[in-house]
Amino acid sequence: MLALVTWGSRAGLDARTTAAVASVHVLLLLLFVLAWHDGVPLWPTSSLIEQQARVQTAFLLWALPWLAVRSMPRVSHSELALSAALLARRPGTLVLAHLLGSALVVVAVVVAAVPVVVLAGQMSVAAFDGVAVRALDTGAVCAMAAASAAVWSLVTTDRVWAWVGAQGTTCVICVPALWWGGPWLGGAIGITGALVTTAVAMSTADRTCRYVAD
Amino acid sequence: MTPFIRLVNVSKSFGTRTALDGVHLDLARGECLGVTGGNGCGATTLLLVMAALLAPTSGRIEVDGLDASTNLWAVRRRLAYAGGATPRADRGTVGQYIALVRENRRSVARVPVPEADALLRRAGLDPELPMAALSTGAARRAANVAAIATGADLLLIDRPFDGLDERGRDTFLSWFQELRSAATTIVLATGSEREAQSLGTRTVTLDRGRVVADRTAGGLDTWSSGMRGAVGAQ
């Protein structure tokens, strides 16, 4: 399976785009440490780390589905069926490999900003609990972005439509969960949504890519 | 003796167009079959149906005694199909691609398969070539090697010599003959009757989806699929 995941990430990896998104992400969060350490005028009552977390979540909700869709290889149902047959795997397993490959890419974008988040946390004297909740929330957005990108890449080979679909799915699950779910529960709902979406992607692939197209 | 692969009255239609029409075919383990015919004769469809990659409109396919409609995944583990194309989206090298195929099929391979680099060297391919930059001939070689790298019981290869130079053709011809002597069943679709005869113990000619000739290398043995069906029914 590890070889398949490596292949899945290699198949769609666009290193320059990933580096560009990671750079914008880090710079955006760095602004809170360098320029906005007194807080953004829009939310004067929130702490630095809370404000940074909100902006980060909004950025990731927009950027990660796009990056995840770009990281999924553009293959037709027939190509997926042929690859699965040659590798003696079910098409759903190949989709899972692509999904995990894409998840590695989006997680890399998040991990790149960890030092800045830690720095902001120290400046805000945030409790460990708050940092852990934020990590879970961010993980939920990553997982949902990769899972919904996998589903929408099966629905269409057009990247713009796949992005619109993935973005919509990610926001529909993550925004209410993170906004109203509260600490821990919001992230848990997001992760559960991602697992369900992954199962949908795998079963859709097994059903629609069973045979090459007539 | 039970045939390794059996097609019973297999038909395949695409809308109103009939691509295969009542094909009966039995193939023993280790047999090599060349499928010929003009453009649009149904050879590619026949190979895809035999590979359980296309569902027939009617009829039955059995591989190693397993019905392909009810044991799809088990049947696919026993065979490998290669068309002319290699994955366009793969950003790795041809060596990585062949190694992936070999690694994934190792547990179900019937025969031990040499390392990817050794396979590619034999095929005259540089393992470091990027998949996205393969020429037509190199992509054809890579597709053939990918099928061989599976170590499967049954190889179904569509137009294995298209785009190859004479040396490449000879390399794969002798490779297929070697595999056949190791009891691998091979079905090759080719546009050339001579190519089919040079590698096959048996040659089947299709015309508009019907088997119009079935020749064995030892002697000429030709009959239409309709006659064969009648013989089978008796």
Q: Which domain holds residue B38?
A: 1-78+156-165+187-234
- pLDDT score recorded for residue B74: 92
In which band, very low, low, confident or very high, does the pLDDT at A40 lie, cut at 50, 70 and 90? Answer: low
Residues B209, A188: Cα–Cα separation, whole Å: 56
Instruction: Enter the pTM of the model.
Output: 0.85
Q: Is B94 part of any domain?
A: no
- pLDDT score recorded for residue A134: 84
Q: Is A193 part of any domain?
A: yes
Average pLDDT, chain A: 86
Q: How far is CA B229 from the centre of its chain?
A: 24
Q: Which domain holds residue A108?
A: 2-208
Give the closest residue to B167 by CA, choosing from B120, B108, B124: B124
A205 and A151 Cβ atoms separated by less than 8 Å: no
- Chain B residues whose beta carbon lies within 8 Å of the beta carbon of residue A83: 87
- Chain B residues whose beta carbon lies within 8 Å of the beta carbon of residue A85: 51-53, 76, 80-81
pLDDT at A39 over 80: no
User: What distance in Å separates residue B219's CA from the closest CA in chain A?
Assistant: 35
- pLDDT score recorded for residue B187: 93
For B120, the token pair is 């590619």
- pLDDT score recorded for residue B222: 42
Position B4, amino acid:
F
Position B43, amino acid:
A
- pLDDT score recorded for residue B86: 66
Could you tell me which residue, B195 or A28, shows the higher pLDDT? A28
Q: Is B44 part of any domain?
A: yes
Q: Is B193 part of any domain?
A: yes
pLDDT at A206 over 90: yes
- The reply to whether residue B108 touches residue A74, judged by beta carbons under 8 angstroms, is no
pLDDT at A131 over 80: no
Q: Is B97 part of any domain?
A: no
Q: Is A166 part of any domain?
A: yes
- Within the 13-72 window of chain A, which residues sit less than 8 Å (CB to CB) from chain B? 13
Percent composition of chain B: helix, strand, coil (DSSP 3-state, to 5): 35, 25, 35
Q: Is B130 part of any domain?
A: no
For residues A183-202, give the mean pLDDT: 91
pLDDT at A167 over 90: yes
Q: Is A42 part of any domain?
A: yes
A206 and A91 Cβ atoms separated by less than 8 Å: yes
For residues B132-161, give the mean pLDDT: 91
| Domains: count for chain A | 1
H or E stretch at A117: helix A114-124
A38 and A173 Cβ atoms separated by less than 8 Å: no
ipTM, interface predicted TM-score of the complex:
0.86
Q: Is B221 part of any domain?
A: yes
B172 and B145 Cβ atoms separated by less than 8 Å: no
- pLDDT score recorded for residue A132: 80
Position B90, amino acid:
D
pLDDT at A9 over 70: no
Helix (H, G, I), strand (E, B) or coil at B2: coil
- pLDDT score recorded for residue B39: 86
User: What distance in Å separates residue A11's CA from the closest CA in chain B?
Assistant: 4
Helix (H, G, I), strand (E, B) or coil at B205: strand
Residue found by looking up tokens 């054809």 in the block: B140
- The reply to whether residue B81 touches residue A86, judged by beta carbons under 8 angstroms, is yes
Please, which contacts does B211-218 make with residues 24 or more away whose CB atoms are closer than 8 Å?
B211/B23, B211/B24, B211/B25
Position A109, amino acid:
V
Chain segment B65-75, per-residue pLDDT in tens: 999 999 999 99
| Domains: count for chain B | 1
Residues A5, A71: Cα–Cα separation, whole Å: 13
Could you tell me which residue, B86 or A56, shows the higher pLDDT? A56
Residues B169, A9: Cα–Cα separation, whole Å: 34
For residues A152-164, give the mean pLDDT: 91
Average pLDDT, chain B: 85
- pLDDT score recorded for residue B219: 45
- The reply to whether residue B108 touches residue A90, judged by beta carbons under 8 angstroms, is no
Instruction: Give residues with Cβ within 8 angstroms of A49, minimum separation 6.
Output: A120, A121, A123, A124, A126, A130, A134
B52 and B75 Cβ atoms separated by less than 8 Å: yes
A-B CB pairs within 8 A amount to 72
Query: For A132, what's the count of Cα atoms within 13 Å in the CB-facing half-sphere?
Result: 6
Chain segment A94-129, per-residue pLDDT in tens: 999 889 988 989 999 999 998 888 888 877 766 666
- pLDDT score recorded for residue B183: 87
For B45, the token pair is 């469809």
Q: Is B135 part of any domain?
A: no
- pLDDT score recorded for residue A10: 67
Q: Is B150 part of any domain?
A: no
Q: How far is CA B34 from the centre of its chain?
A: 9
The CATH number covering residue B60 comes to 3.40.50.300
Q: Is A12 on the interface with B (CB under 8 A)?
A: yes
Q: Is A213 part of any domain?
A: no
- Chain B residues whose beta carbon lies within 8 Å of the beta carbon of residue A81: 53
Chain segment A45-94, per-residue pLDDT in tens: 677 778 888 889 999 999 999 999 988 888 888 888 998 999 989 999 99
Percentage of chain A lying above the pLDDT 90 cut: 42
Q: Is A192 part of any domain?
A: yes
Chain segment B190-223, per-residue pLDDT in tens: 877 777 777 767 899 999 889 998 888 654 444 3
Residues B141, B7: Cα–Cα separation, whole Å: 29
| Dihedral sign (CA B212, B216, B217, B220) | negative
In which band, very low, low, confident or very high, does the pLDDT at A11 lie, cut at 50, 70 and 90? Answer: low
- pLDDT score recorded for residue B51: 93
B47 and B204 Cβ atoms separated by less than 8 Å: no
